[in-house]
Chains A and B, each alone.
Chain A
């Protein structure tokens, strides 16, 4: 029941989000046709605006957009006018999702064990080394990691391709450049959660019953410490799946991360709205999944 209500609530939320995004882009000065290679004559610009209904009042444009949206139509990109936003998303999203999914797998595959070990060996050298590495991963920006990775693995040693996307060999460096930050973040959150869980009453109770330290950590502390990791993972995954401008840009990957940033600078209204809504849908859906996972991980959590 609770989750059904949440799902129903998502619809008005999306309408509000789309209205806000719509208002924001129309607030920004300039329009989608300001950056053409050759400036259009006033008549042509007027015709273009009429064709895309940009000469109408903003509220009318918005309702027209909502009407199209109800049919699953995101409209035509105002910058790449031969393509619909649906087409661009359909082409770029699978690439971005694969890249983001791989980065997510990498982040959890590194972050979870690292967080577990640093917490289990608290105050020893494993903890100091692991925590420092995690902090480094969080602090070095991806636009530094990516070129350095390319330099080492592609240019100097010729092991991996410099850029582009396609074969499995192309799919190693970009997820690493994208995922390391999140691996560090996950490791830090998990360590924190486990140290807190280790002090909680149910762990003390289990210890009093004679459970060994390893079983204690794995079965009790780890499970509860996963909660903050899971709630961080929702928004993180939404970010990852909708692509990263920087990593896609550096490795020349044909995803949709590049389109999001460019759509704002180009005032490509339809593209920007489509991508924003895509992000919002993913975020809301994933947060719902996070809450579902909560009930499974922590039996004490109940939703009314």
Chain B
């Protein structure tokens, strides 16, 4: 346990102080920041560099340089189509991280609203909303993902806008994947938030606000939701790796990102498919796997650090 913090600090400031003392968590935060920088700087670097370098490192540029081991020209080697792995990992990171962020935000919005309303309104509304969560929990989530992706995907295909531009169709498909993954990940969030709200709504500061004539939306958004921020942020940091991992599973099943687009999941799946007894292209598995695992580790450390800092108990 840390030493008692100065009392003039707000709970959030104290939590922030505790967080800064947690070395793995702070290191993870820096790792994630650097990764984001690398992801955004790399396309710019390709743009500014000479045409030869840009062509060599274009993630979609096919070439005869199949399965080149890591070296000076291709830092992390090349894949079956001679594409530069380093570049593909950085471009794949955009998709993997976007999946994590968008999916997490979707699950955040649905989960917090659902749980807050159920917990605050209580009574029949509460049992009705939470029974829905129970039912959804009891269905294998893969069913939702596939049905959602195919149903909405079909609807999208019929839009004239999409029919005219195949590029747009691809990115819309990815957006769909993001939303779909978020749509199956909000259940636990709703349960956690409901529990918190249940215990907060009888606290005196909420009662006081109600006595002063505040309506339910104001109490929810001004008093209750800010108070569950800590636990929500913490849970978010743990949801994101779960969603990134789920996307990699879907991609492995061929249901996620479609080629030539790549995510870390598809890169690893490609690497795994090249395993054979005669020759092992180890870099195709090791590097995407290492980046994925390091990012997941960092997110987990970050989540643990946030939880310890806010002293959240399950």
**Partner-B contacts on A (CB < 8 A):** 13, 16-17, 20-21, 24-25, 27-30, 135-136, 138-141, 143-144, 147-148, 150-151, 155, 192, 196, 228, 235, 242, 245-246, 260-261, 264-265, 272, 275-276, 279-280, 283-284
Contact = CB atoms under 8 A, between A and B. Distances in A.
Interface in B239-294: 241, 245, 248-249, 252-253, 265, 268-269, 272, 275, 277, 280, 285, 289, 292-293
B277 A155 contact: yes
B272 A272 contact: no
A139 B241 contact: yes
Interface of B: 134-135, 137-140, 142-144, 146-147, 150-151, 154, 241, 245, 248-249, 252-253, 265, 268-269, 272, 275, 277, 280, 285, 289, 292-293, 296-297, 300-301, 313-314
Contact of B289 (A16, A140, A261): A140
A134 B297 CA distance: 11
B143 A140 contact: no
A67 B24 CA distance: 58
17 contacts: A13-B135, A20-B139, A21-B139, A24-B144, A28-B151, A139-B245, A140-B289, A141-B249, A143-B248, A143-B252, A155-B277, A192-B314, A235-B137, A246-B252, A261-B142, A275-B140, A279-B139
Contacts of B292: 139, 141
Given A141-B252, A141-B268, A264-B143, 5 more contacts: A16-B135, A143-B269, A144-B272, A264-B147, A265-B146
A279 B285 contact: no
Given A136-B293, A261-B253, A143 B151 contact: no
A3 B249 CA distance: 37
A27 B147 contact: yes
Contacts of A228: 314
B252 A147 contact: no
A156 B91 CA distance: 33
B138 A279 contact: yes
Contact of A147 (B144, B151, B275): B275
Contacts of B147: 24-25, 27-28, 264
